[in-house]
Chain A
Amino acid sequence: MGTKKGQLKIQAERTFGFLVPKSSKGQLKIQEMAFMLVAVFFFFILVGLFALSLFYSGLYKQANKIAEERTLSALTNLANSPELSCASSKSNCIDADKLISLVGNEPYENFWPFSSLKVIRLSAFDKSDSEMIECNLANYPDCEKFEVYDKELKNERSISTYVALCRKGYENTYTYEKCEVAKLVAGTEIKVQGESE
């Protein structure tokens, strides 16, 4: 074996003699080392890229978790906010007469930390989204869904809470407060790695 190797080397030196300098043994060693270094270099780059992708996927997870926590904590207090709270100092009660003016109210679209916000009346709990009658100033109060806003995002996770929904009623010259159960639904944008905003 040893002689065969030696013969091959001599043959290579004869054939490619014009390429190989005189100290060919040293040059080959350098080449071997250079290839090795390049391989090691690329290996570490790949490891680095893998670690970075893991880190960033963790980052997205954490960002989504914080956003969802924020939605949850904001939603539990939303019914008591000045924009929605009932006049009669009831806790967890939404004033439908105020809510109707929030429908399509653009400035509020970016005020709360939700990607969508809607209130569904008890009568529409069993219905699908498309079956519900959307509320506006013209058909209020004969409607089922108050769509405050919806940013129509692809990736969204919704959470909901039950609230009392009250409005002023009028019968035989007597004004009273008419209340029912409603569902307050808020969405959170779920950010996915590699998808732009």
Chain B
Amino acid sequence: MKSKGLFGLSFNWIFALIVGGFILFLAIYGSSKFIVTSESTIYTETAAKLTSLLDPLETGLASGKATEITFKKESRFKFTCNEKSFAPFGKETVSFSEQTFGKEFGKQSERVDIKDKYIFTNSLLEGKRLIIFSKPFFLTFKVADLTLIFSQEHCFFDAPEEIEEELEGLNMAGIIFMNRSQEVKDCKGISVCFDDEMNCDVEVSHDKNYLVKEGKKLYYTDNLLYGAIFSSADIYECNLKRLKSKFDELSKIYLTKVNIIERSGCLSNIGSKLELMSAELESSRDILRLTEMAEEIDLINKGAKSGCKLY
């Protein structure tokens, strides 16, 4: 008679079960870790590829460009902005994840740095479709391209004609122009009003160059209006500081150019005016002061001889 151990199993069986179980556990644990790492890798790749996809949107000589990116699954992008890291330009980061099982989102990917772009968007973007457009930003000379990304539909109530024409000219989806007779509740997405009397998510005081969003007043000039509308208040303020830093670096380049073109008989007093603009930007309100100074420089440049224009 063979002796039977626990539950009538021989020692061999118990031993095999314990060790086999241990190996199986290790295999399953290793596989699950591998799957998580692979998923994170794919998500990080997607986030990195997004930055490459934004390059063709550089406006160059154009007044704007637009495109759309669609995903098979519901996707989530998280953006952060830090004007102090990576001095003097600051940086933004983007991470990606998508819906896996049910409505659960996978673990957010590693953050990918974006240093040479100025992306104005919500800190959290969700959807199957991203609408992207770009607009140049001038402060005397061209400083950078503003890249604007949104996923939710935006309803513009009583938008000025020039804004309507400009956006319609880009031939993009996601922006609906509505008039005073239509009600805010008819809007399925974000409501943007250019009229004080309406109660909207974004209230624009176009003649005073500011808008109110998330309870914060964001000042703008020119194309920065779109940046203020489509981005979170903190990302807007951060990117504005980054743009000011870029302006300062470009000013140094133009100051050298002033010295070089002086050799060619072009005298300019733009240099001293540019130096006056180098003060730090505390908040978006300062952009109004800078724009006034920039207009002065612009007048001097326009008045220069045709061969002596700085920009």
Contact between chains at B56 and A168 (CB < 8 Å): no
Measured between beta carbons, the chain B residues less than 8 angstroms from A102 are: 253
Alpha-carbon separation in the docked complex, A69 to B52 (Å): 7
B250 touches A82 (CB 8 A): yes
**Bound-complex Cα distance A93 to B193 (A):** 41
> Would you call A101 and B116 a contact (CB within 8 A)?
no
Flag if B16 contacts A33 (CB, 8 Å): yes
Residue A80 at the chain B interface, CB threshold 8 Å: yes
Interface residue B8 (Cβ < 8 Å from any Cβ of A): no
Count of chain B residues with a beta carbon within 8 Å of a chain A beta carbon: 52
Q: Which A residues lie within 8 Å of B141 (CB)?
A: 82
Interface string of B217-236 (1 = CB under 8 A from A): 00000000000000000000
- B34 surroundings in chain A (CB, below 8 A): 52, 55
* A100 & B260 in contact (Cβ 8 Å cutoff): yes
Q: Does A29 contact B (CB under 8 A)?
A: yes
| A194 adjacent to chain B (CB < 8 Å) | no
* Cβ-based interface call for B164 (8 A): no
B1 adjacent to chain A (CB < 8 Å): no
B310 at the interface (CB under 8 A from A): yes
Which residues of A sit under 8 angstroms from B61, Cβ to Cβ?
80, 89, 91
**Contact status of A66 and B45, CB under 8 A, knowing A81-B58, A87-B309, A107-B88:** yes
Q: State whether A107 touches B45 (Cβ < 8 A).
A: no
User: Once the chains bind, are B260 and A97 in contact (CB under 8 Å)?
Assistant: yes
B12 close to A77 (CB less than 8 A):
no
Size band of the interface chain A makes with B: 35 or more
Q: Min CB distance, B85 to chain A, in Å? A: 11
Bound: A69/B266 CA distance, A: 41
Given A98-B257, A169-B264, residue A110 in contact with residue B115 (CB < 8 A) = yes
Instruction: Check B307–A175 contact: CB distance below 8 A.
Output: yes
Q: CA of A102 to CA of B261 in the docked complex: distance in angstroms?
A: 16
**Nearest CB of chain A from residue B69's CB, rounded to whole Å:** 15
Bound form: Cα–Cα A26–B4 in Å:
12
* B87 contacts across to A, CB distance below 8 A: 107
Known: A77-B58, A175-B305. A26 touches B144 (CB 8 A): no
Tell me if B23 counts as interface (CB < 8 A to partner A): yes
Q: Is A177 an interface residue (CB 8 A)?
A: yes
Contact residues of B: prevailing secondary structure: helix
Decide yes or no whether B15 CB sits under 8 A from chain A. Answer: yes
Out of B15, B41, B254, B261, name the residue touching A168 (CB < 8 Å): B261
Residues 248-289 of chain B: 1 if any A CB is under 8 Å from the residue's CB, otherwise 0? 011011101100110111100000000000000000000000
Q: Are A111 and B115 in contact (CB under 8 A)?
A: yes
Q: Counting CB contacts under 8 A, is B71 at the interface?
A: no
Q: B120: CB under 8 A from chain A?
A: no
A16 at interface (Cβ–Cβ under 8 A)? no
Task: Write the chain B residue with the least CB distance to A41.
Answer: B23
Known: A26-B11, A175-B308. A168 touches B52 (CB 8 A): no
Task: Give complex CA distance A104, B68 in Å.
Answer: 38
Confirm or deny: B143 has a beta carbon within 8 angstroms of a beta carbon on chain A.
Answer: yes
Q: A44-B23, A66-B45, A82-B142 are in contact. Are A77 and B261 (CB under 8 A)?
A: no
Map CB proximity to B onto A47-71 as digits: 1 under 8 Å, 0 otherwise.
0100010010001001000100110
Interface presence of B19 (CB below 8 A):
yes
Q: What are the residues of chain A within 8 A of B246 when measuring CB–CB?
A: 82
Q: State in angstroms the CA–CA spacing of A35 and B173 once bound together.
A: 66
Collect the chain A residues with CB atoms within 8 Å of residue B256's CB: 97-98, 100-101, 137
**Pick from B27, B60, B261, B309: contact of A44, CB under 8 Å:** B27
A125 CB-CB contact with B under 8 Å: no
Q: Judge whether B11 and A30 touch: CB under 8 Å.
A: yes
Residues of B within 8 A of A170 (CB): 263-265
Nearest B residue to A26 by beta-carbon distance? B11
Q: What mask results when residues 72 to 95 of chain B are scored 1 for a CB within 8 Å of chain A, else 0?
A: 000000000000001111000000
Contact partner, A62, options B12, B20, B45, Cβ 8 Å: B45
CB-contact partner of B89 in A44, A105, A111, under 8 A: A111
Smallest CB–CB gap between B274 and chain A, Å? Answer: 13
Known: A101-B256, A102-B253. 4 other contacts (CB 8 A): A74-B55, A82-B250, A87-B310, A105-B253
- Interchain residue pairs with CB less than 8 A apart (24): A26-B12, A29-B12, A33-B16, A34-B19, A55-B38, A62-B45, A66-B49, A69-B52, A70-B51, A74-B55, A76-B55, A80-B61, A82-B143, A87-B310, A95-B257, A97-B256, A112-B116, A113-B115, A170-B263, A170-B264, A175-B265, A175-B266, A175-B305, A175-B307
